[in-house]
Amino acid sequence: MPALGTPAGTATSPAGPLPTSVLHCTKPERGVPARASSAPQVWMCGGEIEIVPCSRVGHIFRNDNPYSFPKDRVRTVERNLARVAEVWLDDYKELFYGHAYHLLQRRAELGDLSQQKALRERLQCRSFRWYLENVYPDLAAPLVKASGLLVNVATARCIAAQNTTLALQACDVNNKAQHFNYTWLRLLQHGELCVVPVGAAGAPGLRPCEGWESGLAWRHSSMAARPELAEHLMVQHQHPPACLLVHPVLLALRLGACTTTDRYQQWRFGSYHVA
């Protein structure tokens, strides 16, 4: 397999030494007892992983695991994967956290990542997007979970942004004010603005997104604990649970107690993305 772009270093013969960048990227991290996949790092930093015809590869497993797990095996492996995501996945780390949402609450446990980030910068490694586009284009890695028009099932009308407030309008796919994203971090976004349960006018509204906050999270489309509310937009950290709804008379957006059969509380995006 030919190298893509200009690699940081290339072995001149099958018996030659590995490029320095590959050694740096694949060398076990100090203090990390369990390994994580290093294939993306190798490619991003100028190396390549080749499939050699007629090669035979085996893995000899030990009877006893030589690694120690300071807390427990699962939490140690999760911590290591989250460290890799923070250093190497760029914006795609949101997809990782979307599948391991509980780790968002434990980011303080990841430790110092400055050396790993400095190494990536020093080696001038490419972006993870480059890896997806050039090395693994078959991998489905959408940056958002759902996107497009956000349609209320009962009224067939769409949410639209009006400065920092939200309105209900006739759906128009060409109206950019009606385009929203539902992210892997469970944020409901319009551009750089996030939908908040209670805005300046006392109703659901918009405010600038400033990182992830649990108070901005909405549950939608994949609620294993409440499958009957899968089409609802439920405020995640509110008790009792509250859902986004359309007032049937005023045709205005409100929050109310979640009701499974209320179509005024049911919402559908134009597109849903699977990863």
| Residue 184 belongs to domain with CATH number | 2.80.10.50
Q: Which of 201, 236, 221, 229 is nearest to 274 (CA)?
A: 221
The last residue of a domain, from among 112, 134, 156: 134
Q: What is the pTM of this model?
A: 0.76
**Statement to judge: residues 67 and 29 lie in one domain:** yes
**Statement to judge: residues 155 and 189 lie in one domain:** yes
pLDDT: which is higher, 158 or 100? 158
Length of the chain in terms of residues written? 275
Strand partners, 161: 166
Amino acid at 154: A
pLDDT: which is higher, 275 or 160? 160
**Statement to judge: residues 124 and 51 lie in one domain:** yes
**Statement to judge: residues 110 and 207 lie in one domain:** no
Q: Say which CATH number the domain at 97 has.
A: 1.10.8.460
Over range 170-180, report the average pLDDT. 97
Inside any domain, residue 55: yes
Inside any domain, residue 129: yes
Question: Using alpha carbons only, what angle is made at residue 259 by residues 258 and 264, rounded to the nearest 5 degrees?
Answer: 95
Neighbouring CB atoms inside 10 A of 227's CB total 9
**Statement to judge: residues 86 and 187 lie in one domain:** no
Over range 251-255, report the average pLDDT. 93
**Statement to judge: residues 223 and 253 lie in one domain:** yes
The last residue of a domain, from among 134, 157, 191: 134
Whether 203 has a pLDDT exceeding 90, the answer reads no
Inside any domain, residue 41: yes
Of 2-6, 69-73, 87-91, 109-113, the range with the highest mean pLDDT is 87-91
Whether 15 has a pLDDT exceeding 70, the answer reads no
Inside any domain, residue 10: no
Domain limits for position 189? 144-272
Counting the structural domains of the chain, the total is: 2
For residue 118, give the H/E element and its range.
helix 114-122
> What three-state secondary structure class fits 107?
helix
Question: Using alpha carbons only, what angle is made at residue 79 by residues 43 and 127, rounded to the nearest 5 degrees?
Answer: 25
The last residue of a domain, from among 97, 115, 134: 134
DSSP summary character for residue 272: E
CA 157 from centre of chain: 28
Q: Which of 194, 9, 228, 187 is nearest to 101 (CA)?
A: 187
Over range 35-63, report the average pLDDT. 79
Say how many CA atoms lie within 13 Å of 137 toward its Cβ.
Answer: 2
**Statement to judge: residues 93 and 189 lie in one domain:** no
**Statement to judge: residues 155 and 97 lie in one domain:** no
Query: So what's the pLDDT on residue 6?
Result: 43
**Statement to judge: residues 124 and 41 lie in one domain:** yes
Q: What percent of the chain has pLDDT over 70?
A: 83
**Statement to judge: residues 108 and 222 lie in one domain:** no
**Statement to judge: residues 167 and 247 lie in one domain:** yes
For every residue of 24-65, DSSP letters joined together read: HHHSPPTT--S----HHHHHHTT------TT--------SS-
Whether 33 has a pLDDT exceeding 50, the answer reads no
Check: CB of residue 206 under 8 Å from CB of residue 238. no
Query: So what's the pLDDT on residue 12?
Result: 58
Query: So what's the pLDDT on residue 9?
Result: 47
pLDDT: which is higher, 88 or 10? 88
> What three-state secondary structure class fits 126?
coil
Whole-angstrom CA distances from 230 to 105, 188, 212 are: 23, 15, 22
Residues ≥6 apart with Cβ < 8 Å to 210? none
Inside any domain, residue 154: yes
Inside any domain, residue 14: no
Whether 202 has a pLDDT exceeding 50, the answer reads yes
**Statement to judge: residues 174 and 222 lie in one domain:** yes
pLDDT band at 34; cut points 50, 70, 90 = very low
Inside any domain, residue 1: no
